[in-house]
Structures are given as structure tokens and as C-alpha cells.
Amino acid sequence: MVAISVQDTAGNVSKPTEVMIVDATAPIWPEDTIIEALDVKESKLTLSWSRADDQTGVSEYQVYQDNQLLQEVVAGETKLEEWKQSVGDYQVEMVF
């Protein structure tokens, strides 16, 4: 939040008004970003990815499995550890 006041030519100053600055630019992934499956075992694995960039900062990553939200991962973390799954093929999507 930013507060703005205005002053006229006579020196009268208004009360500050709070203004919200809107970030209209979505975060971006570096061009070489990949999602990796690490420490793969029969019933669990770890997903790892590169950090995304944003002018105001990334607040969280959302991991989807087969179009269903699987887990939210806080910014600063770039891993989803011990993701428990049965054997099979899965579509995984990262959103921030």
C-alpha cells in the first residue's frame, strides 16, 4: 500500500489516501526450467523445479496432478518431497 496526499497552491494538504499498487505482470519461468523427479522409489518421489521470477516476488507454487490441486508449496521452496503415489503415469503441472 502507498499513501498519497495532495497540496494546493495555498498550502492546504489533504489527508493521505491509501492506494493499492496492482501487479499486472505474471511471474515467469526461466527458459531452461524443467520439473525433475528425484529420489524415485516404488511409492514416492520428490519433484524439483527452478525458481520462477516476478517483479514483486512469488508467493507460492501450486502443484497439480491430473488437473487437481495436489499441494501448495511456499515461495522459496522448490521441491515437493516424498510425494506418495502408486505406480503409473501422471501429468504434473506447476502454476504460480
Contact, 78 vs 46, CB < 8 A?
no
Q: How much is the average pLDDT of 61-73?
A: 84
Count of alpha carbons within 13 Å of 84, Cβ hemisphere only?
Answer: 0
Give the residue from 58, 63, 57 showing the smallest Cα distance to 93: 63
Question: Global pTM?
Answer: 0.64
Q: How much is the average pLDDT of 20-27?
A: 82
User: If residue 37 lies in a helix (H) or strand (E), which one and from where to where?
Assistant: strand 35-38
Q: How much is the average pLDDT of 89-94?
A: 62
> Does residue 81 register a pLDDT over 90?
no
Assigned CATH topology for domain 25-95: Immunoglobulin-like (2.60.40)
**pLDDT, tens digit (0-9, with 9 covering 90-100), for 29-62:** 888 888 888 888 777 888 888 888 888 888 898 8
Residue owning grid cell 523445479: 49
What residue ranges do the domains of the chain occupy? 25-95
Question: Which pLDDT score is estimated for 19?
Answer: 83
Q: How much is the average pLDDT of 9-23?
A: 88
Question: Which pLDDT score is estimated for 13?
Answer: 93
